[in-house]
Amino acid sequence: MAHHTPSAAYPQTPTKKDYKHELHGLQVELVKLQKHFIAHGERILVILEGRDSGGKDGTIKRIIQHLSPRETRVVALGKPSERDRTSWYFQRYVPHLPSAEEMVLFNRSWYNRAGVERVMGFCTDAEYEEFMETVPAFEQMLIRSGIRLFKYYLDISKDEQKKRLAARRTDPLKQWKMSPIDAVAQKHWGDYSAARNEMFARTHSALAPWTVVRANDKKLARLNLIKDLLERLDYADKDHALIRPNPDIVFTYAEAYLDNGMIAP
């Protein structure tokens, strides 16, 4: 995958039938993976970041759908409390880290500080700087302790976000997803792009790289993120043909992709 230069062209959406068939196959692979990390006492941490309405909820739902809930946890923390505001920034996340035999998925993570808190003015410049300077060392500690860390960023275009936010406002089943932050997401589009670019520049490393998922097509995004995760983890009886991700959809961050249209401006 490292030798492929992704193209700005977008692959074709799978049919509903093909999507369901492929997703089922990948969910079987995820069950095999779970058996492996339970047997070997592994700790897996998957961070999902991205634009508002980028598709994090739907992707997580498909990953955990058939996994044992005892060894799989989803963490989606709410607004920090007053106590949280005066604690060490990472403190509220630490209790949720995976123990042996667990896979934990963070639906947004400590990178809130690099994104929404930065853009909306919920943290000071000093707090932001401290976070950006210390997060690489924090992640290095997690990795050295044996945690397998995966950082995904679901990227969508401004037009696609506009459509999805409009759908949320009108769909009675999705209205729980609307927040005051969502309401101004389009207005702050450029600010979020700048914050994202700085986050990539300062927190992407060989040890804890960012993987970008082009998520304008929800089905392709889900399938390829799952494939990428499965490809990067060890487990027995792996179906290599099934789990080959499309490098035009999921790829390791590189600065060049900000200029060639692979990452939305």
Is 70 exceeded by the pLDDT of residue 225?
yes
pLDDT at 1 (0 to 100): 43
Give the confidence band of 4 by pLDDT, cuts at 50, 70, 90. low
What does the pLDDT look like over 51-64, one tens digit per residue? 999 999 999 999 99
Q: State the residue for tokens 């993120």.
A: 225
Whether residue 161 contacts residue 53, with contact meaning beta carbons closer than 8 Å, is answered with yes
What does the pLDDT look like over 71-115, one tens digit per residue? 999 999 998 999 999 999 999 999 999 999 999 999 999 999 999
Residues 6+ apart with CB under 8 A from 210: 151, 152, 153, 200, 203, 204, 252, 253
In the chain, the percentage of residues whose pLDDT exceeds 90 is: 88
Closest to 97 in 3D by CA, of 115, 77, 119, 116: 77
pLDDT at 236 (0 to 100): 94
pLDDT at 135 (0 to 100): 98
pLDDT at 172 (0 to 100): 83
Q: Which residues pair with 105 in a beta bridge?
A: 46, 74
State whether residue 9 is helix, strand or coil.
coil
pLDDT at 40 (0 to 100): 97
Q: How far apart, in whole angstroms, are the C-alpha atoms of residue 12 and residue 17?
A: 14
Both tokens assigned to 128: 């932001």
pLDDT, greater one: 7 or 54: 54
The length of the chain in residues reads 265
Both tokens assigned to 192: 């979020």
Is 80 exceeded by the pLDDT of residue 178?
no
Whether residue 114 contacts residue 131, with contact meaning beta carbons closer than 8 Å, is answered with yes
* pTM beyond 0.75, yes or no: yes
Lowest mean pLDDT among 104-118, 134-148, 165-179, 247-261: 165-179
pLDDT at 9 (0 to 100): 63
Q: How far apart, in whole angstroms, are the C-alpha atoms of residue 63 and residue 15?
A: 20
Number of H helices, E strands in the chain: 10, 6
